Amino acid sequence: MTDDPLRLPRHIAIIMDGNGRWAAERGLPRAAGHREGVKALRAVVEHSVARKIPIVTVFAFSSENWRRPRKEIGLLLDLFLESLEKEVSSLHKNGVSLRFVGERDAFPPRLRTAVRRAEKQTAGNTVLKLVIAANYGGRWDVTRACRGIAELVAAHDIDVDEIDQSLFARYLSFADLSEPDLFIRTGGEQRISNFLLWELAYTELYFTDVLWPDFGADALDAALTWYSQRQRRFGRTSDQVEQAEGA
């Protein structure tokens, strides 16, 4: 596979699916699958650093995950806190900055404190930006943006006619980041599950049957190879793209 950075995505978004099924196939509790999933994320982040991918966004906990059994929710939140406390020093040492996107108020105070601490500690790092979407949903983010713009209109700070796609995008949680070039979902499902609804408009969508705990460097390279073979047209014809690339 080529190391040409022009053929690699600048921003990868991942739905890490399959932890529970991975555990079930081995006769293990779901907690074991989630713990292996943390190891898989570590491997993906390390390989993304090696491949010089600037941004990786992962869907760690959706706004719909609160519907899961209370015991599993508690386990996920405990694992979230444990992983933060264990991994942040290593991430910081390797130049990874952490950012968390989502509604934090629903999380326990200790977890909110750990999130703020991790963001502050790693804020100056520039090797890779790891964005953790937690208690996040695309519809939540769009609704939040609409509310923010409506408040501006109500306060007469802007006129309705000023609202366009560019203004709207500035009120989304990912406003300061480039849109994902590559979306990866593991575990065999082929849907985006309320993840980055606005930002995925022109993203290349890659689905794999590999369960998340088994998704490592080789699996990521397979996705990157697939991406490198895609022609991204953004509404243009193939001829137009080829002419622009040849210019």
The type of residue at 63 is S
Strand 55-62 versus strand 96-101 pairing type: unpaired
Q: Is residue 66 within 8 Å of residue 73, measured between CB atoms?
A: yes
Tell which residue, 7, 91, 5, has the closest CA to residue 41.
91
Q: Is residue 213 within 8 Å of residue 36, measured between CB atoms?
A: yes
Which residues are catalytically annotated?
Answer: 17, 65
- Nearest-angstrom CA–CA distance, 148 and 90: 37
Distance of CA 3 to the CA centre of its chain: 23
Q: Is residue 88 within 8 Å of residue 44, measured between CB atoms?
A: no
- Nearest-angstrom CA–CA distance, 142 and 197: 8
Per-residue tokens: 105: 């108020």
